[in-house]
């Protein structure tokens, strides 16, 4: 099912085995990370399935190299970010990061796919500090799902700030979920942060969107 390997799609970019040179283009960074991850997982799926803590530690130790979680957290909080305290902003970024680590670590050992490929033809960058990289995930049944990573240049390094899977903008989806949670909890920041558990339905992803 799509939900089982969604984590693999995203973690494929968020789990580099080596620090990437600043001279690399966003496409080169993504391509190298995907190839490195697939090589590392080859033949070790059962091992990691029985040692999730080790895989989670590997994911966690490398996330800071490629994902801008402070930026992502602020984006997901949307208009609520302005009135949040510095402690709440920091805590949400940490909670958001951990929920993704937990979800995608398990996705890595349960996904069912035939191929991951970074497209040879990429759109030209419109801005020097922003870029997108297009990929495709081919399911075992032959269904092809497009994946697009959004990156921004921060302190001379490219960082992931959003992912679009089959037309579903995950950043926007999580922002809407945060907004709904704030409404449901009478804008109690701490209650929303403590109960944060982002979800994207399998059926929704399979049907796709028009992001």
Strand partners, 135: 118, 147
Mean pLDDT of 64-85: 89
Question: Of 18-22, 91-95, 191-195, 203-207, which gets the smallest average pLDDT?
Answer: 18-22
For residue 95, give both structure tokens. 């909670």
pLDDT digits (tens, 9 = 90+) for 96-150: 888 877 776 776 676 666 677 888 878 887 888 898 889 888 877 888 888 888 8
Q: How confident is the model at residue 19 (pLDDT cuts 50, 70, 90)?
A: very low
In 3-state terms, what secondary structure has residue 199? Answer: coil
Q: What is the DSSP letter of 16?
A: -
pLDDT digits (tens, 9 = 90+) for 43-72: 777 888 898 888 888 777 666 666 788 899
Q: Are 151 and 157 in contact (CB under 8 A)?
A: no
């Amino acid at each position: 099912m799509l939900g089982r390997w969604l984590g693999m799609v995203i973690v494929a970019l968020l789990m580099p085995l080596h620090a990437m040179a600043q001279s690399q283009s966003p496409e080169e960074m993504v391509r190298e990370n995907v190839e490195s991850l697939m090589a590392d997982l080859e033949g070790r799926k059962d091992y990691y399935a029985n040692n999730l803590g080790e895989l989670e530690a590997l994911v966690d130790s490398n996330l800071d190299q490629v994902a801008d979680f402070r930026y992502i957290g602020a984006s997901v909080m949307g208009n609520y970010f302005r009135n949040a305290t510095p402690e709440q902003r920091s805590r949400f970024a940490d909670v958001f990061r951990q929920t993704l680590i937990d979800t995608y670590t398990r996705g890595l050992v349960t996904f069912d796919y035939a191929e991951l490929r970074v497209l040879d033809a990429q759109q030209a960058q419109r801005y020097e500090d922003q870029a997108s990289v297009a990929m495709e995930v081919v399911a075992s049944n032959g269904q092809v799902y497009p994946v697009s990573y959004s990156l921004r240049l921060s302190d001379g390094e490219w960082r992931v700030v959003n992912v679009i899977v089959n037309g579903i903008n995950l950043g926007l989806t999580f922002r809407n979920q945060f907004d709904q949670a704030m409404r449901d909890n009478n804008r109690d920041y701490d209650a929303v942060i403590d109960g944060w558990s982002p979800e994207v339905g399998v059926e929704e992803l399979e049907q796709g969107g028009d992001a």
